[in-house]
Chains A and B, each alone.
Chain A
Amino acid sequence: MVEMNLIQAVNSGLKCAMEGDASVVVLGEDVGMDGGVFRATEGLLKKFGPARVMDTPLAESGIVGVAIGMAVAGLRPVPEIQFSGFLYMAYGQLVNHAARVRNRSRGKFTCPLVVRTPYSGGIRALEHHSESLEAIYAHVPGLKVVIPSSPYDAKGLLISAIKGNDPVVFMEPSRLYRAVKEEVPEGSYTVPIGKAKIVKEGSQITVISWGSMLQQTRLALNHTNVDVELIDLRTLKPLDVETIITSVKKTGRCVIVQEAPRTGGFASEIIALVNEQAIFSLKAPVARVTGFDTIFPLYKLEDHYLPSTERIINAIEATANY
């Protein structure tokens, strides 16, 4: 076990996956010589050589598109898109092809592809570097969407994603890259995709979050006496419905915390599921704490946009005391 932050855990996960399987390759802008703008791929070029660690032309659709061809022809590519704000350029390739290869060929071809991309705000960046539009990927049939919030999970989930045979959008909360350290095994291990984690058991209220907001939500729990059951989704698709519903049936109350804009965000889907499967256990309306339905502001105002501990505490207490 070694103390690692989230970005070191991602780096370690890539290294383990590449050591374990010669078909795993990394490609993207600045992933080679530079080791990635966040250092996720540091040391990989030296260790695995330019055939497996490819600095590519600056073209996001091209990166994802060639990765699809590689995946179909026998590799396990792990393209990095430098910021999720630039992944939209490759959205067509993801929706039109990566997600459909298996279905279109009735299982004859598969697309084992893991698109890694940092997302979320709070890093004092330029426009397009702070967005949380995970819902637009979760909406697409055929894609899996994985969002870790801790170093241990990041490494284990990444290795699972690379070993799997389905395309995965792997979103890494950039604000948490260096925020916390924890003990992480140096060797290879997996954390299952599609399984949420109960971070803290509790009896009064279920609080659900993922990725960038998990840390903020944990902080908020220090400032309330409500006995919270905190769930980290870890995977948005396929979603661990059972863990959510079991918890909400137990507590009868639910708050969802997401950084993304409110309308059509993933919290909406969770509320719909709770309505369908646990509505008669509810003692209060389900609340959601979200970003605003606005363009993500530049950094002088970003702290107002990001759900604060205060907003989270207010929602938890209002729901608990309803």
Chain B
Amino acid sequence: MAEKLLKTFNVRHLQVLDDTGKADSRLMPRLSARQLVELYGLMVLCRRFDEKALSLQRQGRLGTYASVLGQEASQIGAAYALGKADWVFPTYRDASILIVRKQPMVRVLQYFGGDERGSIPAEGVNNFPISIPVGTQGLHAVGAGMAATVQKKKFAALACFGDGATSEGDMNEAFNFAGVFKAPVIFLCQNNQYAISVPVKRQTAAETIAQKAIAFGFEGIQVDGNDVLAVYSATAAALKKAYAGKGPTLIECLTYRIQNHTTSDDASKYRSAAEVELWKKKDPVARMRKFLERKKLWDNRKEAELAAKVERQVSEAVSEYEAVPKPEVDDIFKYQYEELPGFLRRQMDDYKNLVEGK
């Protein structure tokens, strides 16, 4: 009898840009100057959209909204790396992912404005509707990935979730199925450190979320979630692996939710202003701008032009959103089944007779 060491594991952390926007040239992803500028442009657009959505909510022009503020790098870096045929399974806090994935902003607003038509993806883009029950959509991503394998098609699935979701049974079942079936899936965990008020140390005793992948037999990596280039790089690598049939990857984006959980929450009850200030200094959008300035790809004039452009785009989306006619009563009934069953037709007709009779 002897005791021996069977396995040891390491967990990597990746950062390409430091807080001052200085890049580690050895770790730079292959992105052209045009792409780097485009990435930054998307970050500015998504941030402006987010601010606008919050302000619309405060004015009573939008329903409950979950702000992305502070998490733009995690969302935009990952979404930017995906191919058109890939699938995305988003949560309620993934508006930036959706926008990068060609979801018209007007539809994102429609969704949070209480209209299911906001979940209809742009033609030819596989954005699944937002999932509200936490951690349940990871399994759908794995199933979509398994479907790619069965159909011998080249696409992968991005499962979006947060630190809180890693406590859910379904999420752990998703990791397990993905590992066993080597499914082409990217698990994108935005560890924003709070599930509403509960800090990540109450979700897990593990030091990182990335290391959870090891137990399920695949690779996990932690990245600086406020570094868009690190997130892009890790996602691009995971995607390449997925396409090659080498299975899933868990990417933990270490980031921070600057805003309240949703517009119905008050985060000052459970975290200090000092902590929030600390994270504001790590702002992902400012960091990318500093990087572009260092590379001489950006200046104040370009910034002003960009600001004016996104302002126009967002304003147009808002005008369009507010001009969308209300959905019809029929829409409540029409999409329950492929064909409207008799019992539902009766309920619909009875109700419409009542409403229209008035």
A residues apposed to B, CB below 8 Å: 23, 25, 51-52, 54, 56-57, 59, 61-62, 65-75, 77, 92-93, 96-97, 101-110, 141-142, 144, 164-166, 194, 238-239, 241-242
Which of B301-358 touch A at CB < 8 Å?
A: 331, 334-338, 341-344
B176 engages A57 (CB within 8 Å): yes
Known: A59-B177, A69-B142. A110 touches B338 (CB 8 A): yes
Measured between beta carbons, the chain A residues less than 8 angstroms from B60 are: none
Kindly report which residue of chain B lies nearest to residue A67, judged by CB atoms: B143
B145 engages A96 (CB within 8 Å): no
A70 engages B144 (CB within 8 Å): yes
Known: A62-B173, A74-B147, A75-B147. A69 touches B141 (CB 8 A): yes
A92 engages B133 (CB within 8 Å): yes
Contact of A62 among B89, B117, B176, B338 (CB under 8 A): B176
A239 engages B120 (CB within 8 Å): no
A68 engages B143 (CB within 8 Å): yes
11 A-B pairs within 8 Å (CB atoms) are namely A62-B176, A66-B146, A68-B139, A69-B89, A72-B143, A74-B151, A92-B136, A102-B337, A104-B116, A109-B128, A238-B343
Contact of B120 among A68, A105, A110 (CB under 8 A): A105
CB distance from B156 to the nearest CB of A (A): 11
Known: A62-B176, A68-B140. A106 touches B147 (CB 8 A): no
**5 closest residue pairs by CB, A with B:** A69-B143, A65-B139, A62-B173, A66-B143, A238-B341
B121 engages A108 (CB within 8 Å): yes
Which of B103-124 touch A at CB < 8 Å?
A: 116-117, 119-121
Q: Does B131 contact A (CB under 8 A)?
A: yes
B169 engages A61 (CB within 8 Å): yes
Known: A61-B170, A66-B177, A106-B120. A141 touches B143 (CB 8 A): no
19 more CB-based (< 8 A) A-B contacts, given A51-B150, A57-B176: A56-B180, A57-B180, A62-B174, A65-B139, A65-B142, A65-B170, A69-B140, A69-B147, A73-B144, A73-B148, A75-B150, A93-B136, A102-B338, A105-B119, A105-B128, A110-B338, A165-B338, A241-B343, A242-B342
> Complex Cα distance A194/B337, Å?
12
> Complex Cα distance A72/B140, Å?
8
Measured between beta carbons, the chain B residues less than 8 angstroms from A164 are: 338
Q: Does B41 contact A (CB under 8 A)?
A: no
> Complex Cα distance A82/B259, Å?
45
Q: Does B87 contact A (CB under 8 A)?
A: yes
Q: Does B29 contact A (CB under 8 A)?
A: no
Measured between beta carbons, the chain B residues less than 8 angstroms from A66 are: 139-140, 142-143, 146, 174, 177
B133 engages A65 (CB within 8 Å): no
Known: A106-B116, A107-B335, A242-B342. A25 touches B140 (CB 8 A): no
Measured between beta carbons, the chain B residues less than 8 angstroms from A108 are: 119-121
